[in-house]
Structure 1
Amino acid sequence: MEFHRGRLIDHVHLRVADVTASKRFYQAVLRSLGRDIDGEGDGYFFADELFVDQADSTPSNVHLAFQANDEATVQQFYQAGLAAGGRDNGAPGERHYHPGYYAAFLLDPDGNNIEAVYHGAMERSVPSVVITTPGPLSS
């Protein structure tokens, strides 16, 4: 049995009340998994697809970004989300994060910031991470 990972979730952004306490926690749990924090700056740190920064006031809900195959898919995500009760939090368009970063943002019914992103002409080293199990999963 095979599982393909790295195709749906692009990144997770957490806004926290205390970056120092969060960094201490995430550094410990990441190290227990053989990973570490990849970088940090004034009021933020990141590890792989996880980005954590200081909340301006009350910590926010989750920012979850889904990968899209092209700009048209980002636009379809935005329209479908609005039609299903989502609220605008940033119409489809290119963002300043890196050249070709094209995204749209919606607030879900609970206020979570949900994003679809297309990274433009960037090329992946592999389409996904493949995880193979020794047999069927038990339920």
Structure 2
Amino acid sequence: MEIQEIYRGRLIDHVQLVVDDLAASKKFYRAVFEAIGIPMGGEADDYFWADELFISSVDSRAAAGVPTGRTHLAFQASDRATVDRFHAAAVAAGGKDNGAPGERPYHPGYYAAFVLDPDGNNIEVVHHGTANRSSDAVKITF
């Protein structure tokens, strides 16, 4: 595996998904990453990765021999068009629609789409809009 720059101070360092069909997942995630502008970081016969997301086969040295459970991952988008592009690309690459692009009630300007990947993980791409932005942070009150 190639060496990455390490970023300190993040809540999440990385996420690993262990999948049943690595080829189907690679096809799906390549389309997703391309749609949201994230390059693939690297790959081998039993894994691939981009940014802080690492996806491996069940028989990979990096896996415990069983697929991970159903997970919800949300990726940020810079605009609504990216959300729309993600949804179309993910469905075309074998994903199952789990929520068409549109505004959600979570906060004003929350625009998202959801697609199930080949293993049933709920993948979301969200644009938070500009309604609540002050510089590069969004304040959300629960």
TM-score range, shorter chain: 0.3 to 0.5
Higher relative CO (Cα under 8 Å, sequence separation at least 6) belongs to 1
- Given the two structures, how large is their TM-score scaled by the length of structure 2? 0.47
Q: Counting strand residues as a fraction of each chain, which structure ranks higher?
A: 1
- Given the two structures, how large is their TM-score scaled by the length of structure 1? 0.48
Larger Rg: 1
